[in-house]
Amino acid sequence: MENVFAKIAVVGSGALGCYYGAMLARSGVAVTFLVRSDLAVVRERGLRVKLPTEEFALREVRAQATPEEIGPCDLVIVALKTTANGDFRTLIAPLLHERTAILTLQNGLGSDEELARLFGAERVMGGLCFICVNRTAPGEVLCIEPGSLSLGEFGRPVSERLRAVGELFTRSGVRCQLGDDLAWLRWKKLVWNVPFNGLSIVAGGITTDVILADAALEAEVRALMAEVIGAAGKLGYAIPMNVIDQQIAHTRPMGPYKPSSLIDYLAGRAVEVEEIWGEPLRRAQAVGAQVPRMAMLYALLGRLTKR
């Protein structure tokens, strides 16, 4: 599978897209970024990534304003917010040739199925980003905790193609693991995203350290995590309950971290309410899972984000 991904496009040049694209590009991979709002800045200044132990800049960055200017690629990495999924056909179709693979690094549930419906299930892979990274300025990202990247094929076990993608990320310095069940990986990510992204907004725009410093809010985090794990179990994705302690222990050292949904909310941008809370809630209720806290959180977020 050497050089099978000779040309890669990153669609969605926010925090995740810039970070992972820059890591790949620094390692010598031919990456082109689709940049719609900060193109002039990225072309002039390149990309800058600050990690806990180092900082690097890419002075010369391949960046285009339209997918047509990029043309067909071997791998398309989708790092869009799910609120932009209605643009999938316009943004992705011009990047495809007969064998192009699509890797979505998006949050929540539903994107894998939508990409499969539009472009064919055989193309689709998914990635779960266990990372703390924020975009601090056009073309600049701050990574507080590099974490890891979990990859899976959509509806299929690990393949040689997936291993090749994993090797690309591993060689670029990204800690990467592969899984046979992408849906299980997505539910495990929701164990963190549902409580922390949601409570950071409904509790008044607070960071993760403030949430965990409040005994009542930490108890709510744990209760929401338990509901997500229970729902996943009902759907056939067994997640052990000790994941709750593990994830809280992992979150404490992050300090005053703003989850991505909070950043979007405070900036007045659309929040990924349906994908992170709505769709998991509907799937949970469809199998009879008891998820009253998830339902309440979804309702509150719906009201708060209507603006």
299 and 188 share one domain:
yes
Q: Give the residue from 137, 164, 180 where a domain finishes.
A: 180
Mean pLDDT to the nearest integer, 119-146: 94
Residue 1, domain member (yes or no): no
**pLDDT confidence of residue 206:** 98
Q: Give the residue from 180, 201, 219 where a domain finishes.
A: 180
Half-sphere exposure of 231 (CA within 13 A, CB side): 28
Q: Give the residue from 180, 196, 231 where a domain finishes.
A: 180
51 and 143 share one domain:
yes
Average pLDDT of the chain to the nearest whole number: 96
pTM for the structure as a whole: 0.94
Cβ neighbours of residue 234 under 8 Å, at least 6 residues apart? 284, 287, 288, 289
**pLDDT confidence of residue 36:** 83
Cβ neighbours of residue 263 under 8 Å, at least 6 residues apart? 134
> Residue 90 carries which side chain, given as an amino acid letter?
T
165 and 49 share one domain:
yes
164 and 210 share one domain:
no
Mean pLDDT to the nearest integer, 200-211: 98
Mean pLDDT to the nearest integer, 50-63: 94
- Give catalytic residue positions: 189
pLDDT-based confidence at residue 4 (cuts at 50, 70, 90): confident
**pLDDT confidence of residue 3:** 60
Torsions phi, psi for 110 (to 5 deg): 115, -25
pLDDT digits 0-9 by tens, 67-99: 999 999 999 999 999 999 999 999 999 999 999
By percentage, how much of the chain surpasses pLDDT 90?
96
Q: Which residues pair with 11 in a beta bridge?
A: 34, 78
At 289, list the tokens: 């899972």
**pLDDT confidence of residue 150:** 97
pLDDT digits 0-9 by tens, 208-250: 999 999 999 999 999 999 999 999 999 999 999 999 999 999 9
Strands 140-153 and 176-179: parallel
Residue 80, domain member (yes or no): yes
**pLDDT confidence of residue 278:** 98
307 pLDDT more than 80: no
pLDDT-based confidence at residue 1 (cuts at 50, 70, 90): very low
> Residue 144 carries which side chain, given as an amino acid letter?
I
Can you give the CATH number for the domain in which 256 is found?
A: 1.10.1040.10
257 and 296 share one domain:
yes
pLDDT digits 0-9 by tens, 133-145: 999 999 999 999 9
125 pLDDT more than 60: yes
Domain that holds residue 260: 184-305
Mean pLDDT to the nearest integer, 23-33: 96
187 pLDDT more than 70: yes
2 pLDDT more than 80: no
136 and 260 share one domain:
no
262 and 276 share one domain:
yes
pLDDT digits 0-9 by tens, 256-295: 999 999 999 999 999 999 999 999 999 999 999 999 999 9
**Exposure b/e, 166-190, CB count within 10 A at least 16 = b:** bebbeebebebebbebbbbbbbbbb
